Structure 1
Amino acid sequence: MFRTLTSTSLVSAIVIAMSFSLHADWARFRGPNGTGIAESDAPTEFGADKNIQWKLELPGRGISSPIVVGDKLFVTCYSGYGMGNGEGSLEDLKRHLVCVDRQSGKTIWTKTVNAKMPEDEFRPPGVTTHGYASNTPVSDGTHVYAFFGKSGVYAYDLDGNELWSKSVGAERSGKGFGSAASPIVFEDSLIVNAADESRSLVWLDKNTGEEKFRMQDDGLGECWTTPIVVGDGDSSYVVISVIGEVWGFNTSTGKLDWYADGVNSRNAQVSAVLGDDNIVYATGEEGVAIRAGGEGDVSDANTVWEGRVRPRYATPVVVDGYLYSVSGSVFECLDAKTGERVFQERLPGAPAGEDSGPPAGDARGQRGGGRGAGGFGGRGGDEGGAREGGAREGGPRAGGFSGGPGGGGFRGGAGGGGRGGRRGGGGGGGDYASPVVANGKIYIMTNAGMVHVVEAKPEFKVLASNDMTFDKSGFGATPAISDGNLFLRSNNTLYCIGKTEAE
């Protein structure tokens, strides 16, 4: 029996690794399975006059990340409307998918998609915070997929030939923040968090665009997180962090196999990240570590730790047993096994006076009390067991997730969990880019254009602070790393950072 389990676990791990490792490619948001960790090194020092191999002005704005597939880069942007002011007509909005030669930095081809109504208007406090090109494209090595929110999902081959397009919903956003979650590929499926479009998680056949599964639920409201894939030996799961919970969907059936109490916050903006031993870290205004797998509500059985973790937008990275997160100017390291804080420091040039918050682990005492009587809002405590934010009231789930081809729904139809109690966190800074890692170095991109390089060790050490602030358009995109190059994307320009031959 032991040999059988070990063999199955190995096969599962190999399948997942093969699904996400395209040599040294960086083929999705935050690279291989969203870990943010590159296989190669990248320059430690660079700037206006150092190690910029090329730069390319893009045909529009955006904060989506570039991806790298072989000798090509792909990045999305938008034009025609919402270019820094509210003037113009929403009907003139266009999205672009740009293919770039990674060696020369020259554009190979550009595909343009006209907006399909209804789209969210460019007005505060919504889309003005990030624009209309925030979803990072994804590739399986043969095709590239671009998600343009309410205007749909588009599939192309690497030469720019359109293969199919598909709408995943066009509901009006409650608060008008627009779309931001990025699609992922697993085996023959393209998986899209269409929370803003239809409060759904949608599986599409990556070759045809045909809908395979659709899991629709109000718990996906105000959710902009990108899923990851986790294997526990016998099964693999699409895991997503939503308001108050972490959900694990069976990759074969699209059904919800397990769920656990997650981050209690007004919305879900920070994607889950995978660490060692199939532990998933969900963070935001607070944090929780969950061992993936099981059946039904695994909150009690699989919760490793709960605590205070600060990121507001940026997804953390897990390196050699430590969880590193950034929020504004505050950089923090936690022991990934226990949640205990190792250090919390300010990055260079940080303004004084930001609240560092209590030590990690203090949030446990601020949770709600005993378990409620079922329903996703079932965690009892200070607010009567209803999930904070009112996304779902308590009570039994009526058949689980709704319709769509192939079903969905929770195995067994049991009631849910969910957190009640007071929120335990503080927001923090507003930098959108998530940290990434190359050769033991953590790269932290600020909106203003500073790139801090910090050693990925439990002692705080800044290796370099690189100034890209000559580009005044702003940097909201998470960097990409491949084959020794660091790719940065400002609102207007794509940069390739690489060491010169002399170095």
Structure 2
Amino acid sequence: MKPHLLTVVPVLFCSLVTSAGDWPEFLGPGGTARSDETVPVTWSDTENLLWMVDLPGSGSSSPVIIGDRIIVTCYVDGDAATRQVLCFDKQSGEQLWSVDFPVDYREDPYQGFITEHGYASNTPVTDGENVFVFFGKGGVHSLTLDGKRNWSVDVGKGSSNRQWGSAASPVLYKDLVVVNAAEEARALFAFDKATGKEVWRTDADLLELTYGTPRIVSSEGGEDELVISVPEEVWSLNPENGKLRWYAASPMAGNVCPSVIVDGDTVYSFGGFRASGSVAIRTGGKSDVTDTNVLWTNRSSSYVATPLLHEGRFYWIDDRGIAYCTSAQDGELIYRERVEGLGGGRPVYASPVLIGGNIYVVTRRDGTIVYPPGDEFEPIARNRFAGDDTDFNASPAVSNGKLYLRSDEALYCVGE
């Protein structure tokens, strides 16, 4: 069960340089998927749309925001296919720069589930000075906020037995960039964010089909933990050297897409297929903590989206178009209701975000649903851009009272 440690190198502490208006990583600061700001509840092509810019290619990655810059990634198809990092002025939508990364290697074939999310699904992360991008088989890259290349490293060109492509987003810990390269190498990596030098690597076959973004748990007076959910287990590693601290059995088998959710010294995980479910685990301990630290398990689950934790409850709309609310105390169901008016297939991939007092869920082809948390699912708005019929797979970003959405075709800024 234990992953194999190959290298150990000490690291030093380095704080992030971000401000209140920033949205620096997948699901915002700390991955909490919440903002105290207020953004419009309704919008359309003619209402509360401040600007829209066409994107050169598709992508399921979410935008990140630092200062006055918004950064997104795309996959540009063609004879000379490239992955791109693009930076725009968040106030005007003016493009400031772009950097190309040629796809001069063999990618997974465009078939099966990879057609659902594409080749640019990993959301960047920024420390306020540089931006770090993970492109799966295309490697990990560091760029300045002016688009200059700092370093690039390879993490492997492998594929899982499903060939579904890469999805996990990088995270920062002190002066490390941590990457879940389960698809490419069945390994977790940590790189020095200044140089790109590999600091540690942890290999494990059990990482196969692990698509979630790892999370950092910082407990007062305790040790920091890097927590990730893999098929049938949840792991905690020492983020400074990649060594396993503890593991616990989970009900989620097959593959795990949602990211771990952190609340103080408790972590929650959802996912799995065909055996799916959810689990709550108290952090801390050593080796197998299944009998001592697992607080509850439940069959309610989310296949793709990472549920939102708010005031002791989880909220999400799953990939089949069903709205859920469950209790964080025991995992029990509060409501389960089919969302009306969604198309067929898998209508939702994006994770919910709490903005002000409302939950915003971006559907793939049927607009963004806005609804308040509570005992019942009661949508108050559904907002569409009539001129865009491409997929909206990305979760939204929020900054200074504005909502930023991206589709396979365009980047949008919504505000008053």
TM-score when normalising by structure 1: 0.76
**In the alignment, which residue of structure 1 is the partner of 2:190?**
203
**Match for 1:48 among 41, 45, 49?**
45
Residue 320 of structure 1 and its aligned partner are, at CA, apart by 1.1
Amino acid at match of 1:486: L
Per-residue CA deviations over 1:233-289 (Å, capped at 9, x if unaligned) read 3111111111111111112232111111124221111111113x3211110121111
**Match for 2:295 among 301, 304, 307?**
304
**In the alignment, which residue of structure 1 is the partner of 2:315?**
324
**In the alignment, which residue of structure 2 is the partner of 1:335?**
327
- Alpha carbons 2:44, 2:386 under 8 Å: kept: no
Q: 1:334 to 1:493 in 2, by over 3 A?
A: same
Q: Give the whole-Å Cα distance in 2 for the aligned partners of 1:168 and 1:39.
A: 37
- Alpha carbons 2:17, 2:128 under 8 Å: kept: no
Q: 1:172 to 1:55 in 2, by over 3 A?
A: same
SS of the residue 2:42 aligns to: coil
**In the alignment, which residue of structure 2 is the partner of 1:262?**
250
Per-residue CA deviations over 1:383-414 (Å, capped at 9, x if unaligned) read xxxxxxxxxxxxxxxxxxxxxxxxxxxxxxxx
Residue 466 of structure 1 and its aligned partner are, at CA, apart by 1.3
**In the alignment, which residue of structure 2 is the partner of 1:240?**
228
Amino acid at match of 2:412: Y
1:483 aligns with 2:367: no
Residue 115 of structure 1 and its aligned partner are, at CA, apart by 1.4
Amino acid at match of 2:182: A
SS of the residue 2:226 aligns to: strand
1:75 aligns with 2:72: yes
Q: Give the whole-Å Cα distance in 1 for the aligned partners of 2:16 and 2:231.
A: 28
- Alpha carbons 2:321, 2:338 under 8 Å: kept: yes
Q: How does 1:17-416 map to 2 (within 5 A)?
A: 19=16, 22-81=19-78, 89=79, 92-122=80-110, 124-233=111-220, 234-275=222-263, 277-284=264-271, 285-327=276-318, 328-350=320-342
Per-residue CA deviations over 1:109-135 (Å, capped at 9, x if unaligned) read 00001114132222x214322211111
Amino acid at match of 2:20: H
Unaligned stretches of 5+ in structure 2? 1-12
Residue 469 of structure 1 and its aligned partner are, at CA, apart by 4.6
Amino acid at match of 1:71: D
SS of the residue 1:129 aligns to: helix
Per-residue CA deviations over 1:4-26 (Å, capped at 9, x if unaligned) read xxxxxxxxxxx99x659632211
Per-residue CA deviations over 1:176-199 (Å, capped at 9, x if unaligned) read 211111111111000000011100
Q: CA RMSD in A?
A: 1.9
Residue 66 of structure 1 and its aligned partner are, at CA, apart by 0.5
**Match for 1:471 among 353, 375, 388?**
388
- Alpha carbons 1:309, 1:325 under 8 Å: kept: no
- Alpha carbons 1:489, 1:495 under 8 Å: kept: yes
**In the alignment, which residue of structure 2 is the partner of 1:498?**
415
Q: Give the whole-Å Cα distance in 1 for the aligned partners of 2:16 and 2:332.
A: 33
Q: How does 1:421-436 map to 2 (within 5 A)?
A: 429=346, 431-436=348-353
Q: Give the whole-Å Cα distance in 2 for the aligned partners of 1:468 and 1:291.
A: 43
- Alpha carbons 1:262, 1:287 under 8 Å: kept: yes
- Alpha carbons 1:199, 1:220 under 8 Å: kept: yes
SS of the residue 1:121 aligns to: coil
Q: Give the whole-Å Cα distance in 2 for the aligned partners of 1:145 and 1:306.
A: 35
SS of the residue 1:33 aligns to: helix
Among the aligned pairs, what percent are the same residue?
A: 39
- Alpha carbons 1:75, 1:98 under 8 Å: kept: yes
SS of the residue 1:462 aligns to: coil
- Alpha carbons 1:150, 1:168 under 8 Å: kept: yes
**In the alignment, which residue of structure 1 is the partner of 2:360?**
443
Amino acid at match of 1:346: R
Q: Decide which structure has greater helix share.
A: 1
Q: Give the whole-Å Cα distance in 2 for the aligned partners of 1:117 and 1:265.
A: 31
**In the alignment, which residue of structure 1 is the partner of 2:10?**
none
SS of the residue 1:197 aligns to: helix
Per-residue CA deviations over 1:350-404 (Å, capped at 9, x if unaligned) read 58xx9xxxxxxxxxxxxxxxxxxxxxxxxxxxxxxxxxxxxxxxxxxxxxxxxxx
Q: Give the whole-Å Cα distance in 2 for the aligned partners of 1:102 and 1:333.
A: 33
Per-residue CA deviations over 1:33-53 (Å, capped at 9, x if unaligned) read 212112422211111211110
SS of the residue 2:315 aligns to: strand
Q: 1:143 to 1:168 in 2, by over 3 A?
A: same
Q: Decide which structure has greater strand share.
A: 2
Q: Give the whole-Å Cα distance in 2 for the aligned partners of 1:151 and 1:73.
A: 22
Unaligned stretches of 5+ in structure 1? 1-14, 82-88, 355-427
Q: Give the whole-Å Cα distance in 1 for the aligned partners of 2:147 and 2:107.
A: 25
SS of the residue 2:93 aligns to: coil
Residue 465 of structure 1 and its aligned partner are, at CA, apart by 1.5
**In the alignment, which residue of structure 1 is the partner of 2:369?**
452
TM-score when normalising by structure 2: 0.91
Residue 60 of structure 1 and its aligned partner are, at CA, apart by 1.1
Q: Give the whole-Å Cα distance in 2 for the aligned partners of 1:249 and 1:116.
A: 34
- Alpha carbons 2:82, 2:102 under 8 Å: kept: yes
Amino acid at match of 1:145: F
Amino acid at match of 2:144: D
- Alpha carbons 2:342, 2:366 under 8 Å: kept: no
**In the alignment, which residue of structure 2 is the partner of 1:388?**
none
- Alpha carbons 2:251, 2:278 under 8 Å: kept: yes
Q: 1:454 to 1:313 in 2, by over 3 A?
A: same
Q: 1:21 to 1:460 in 2, by over 3 A?
A: farther
SS of the residue 2:108 aligns to: coil
